[in-house]
Amino acid sequence: MSAQKKDTINIKQGIPFGIIQKAPIFPGCETLGENSRRHCLQQGISQYISQNFNRSILDSLELEPGKKRIYTQFIFGKDGHIYQVRARSSHKKLEEEAVRVVSLLPKMAPGVHHGRKVNVKYTMPIIFLVEDKATNRKK
């Protein structure tokens, strides 16, 4: 397969975030340098998810105390919107909530690779700490 053909396939599926030349830009991160923008993007997404995730779902599932992970994967579209959100977790309700929240991320400036706006594939774990309810009652 030629390099040109291979690059075309990647652009359609999404260039992995780790190799994109210019990462998508989260609102408020526009004036930063490339490395700082990447960090700002990751922090912005984490903060957005933390603020918008419906934590009552965690209580309703009566999960065992400890760290819980939801693995997410999605595409930053070349138009700045989020597409193809997928989530994997031990509970379907957690997956559904992760998809809902990630789908609501704000529009961003798209990623750029070889001077062209491209789709960018992004993978991110969402980690929550479920506390022991007995411990919480004592506080």
Structural domain range at position 107: 3-138
Q: Provide the number of structural domains found in the chain.
A: 1
- At 75-100, the pLDDT tens digits run 999 999 999 999 999 999 999 999 99
- Contact between 70 and 126 under an 8 Å Cβ cutoff? The reply is yes
| pLDDT tens per residue across span 45-70 | 999 999 999 988 988 888 888 999 99
Question: What's the pTM?
Answer: 0.82
- Per DSSP, the three-state class of 86 is strand
What distance in Å separates the CA atoms of residue 73 and residue 53, rounded to the nearest whole number? 16
Report the side by side order of strands in the sheet with 15-16.
Answer: 15-16, 120-130, 66-76, 82-88
Tokens describing residue 74: 């999605």
Using 50, 70 and 90 to split pLDDT, how confident is the model at 12? Answer: low
Q: What is the pLDDT of residues 13-41, one digit of tens each?
A: 789 999 999 999 999 999 999 999 999 99
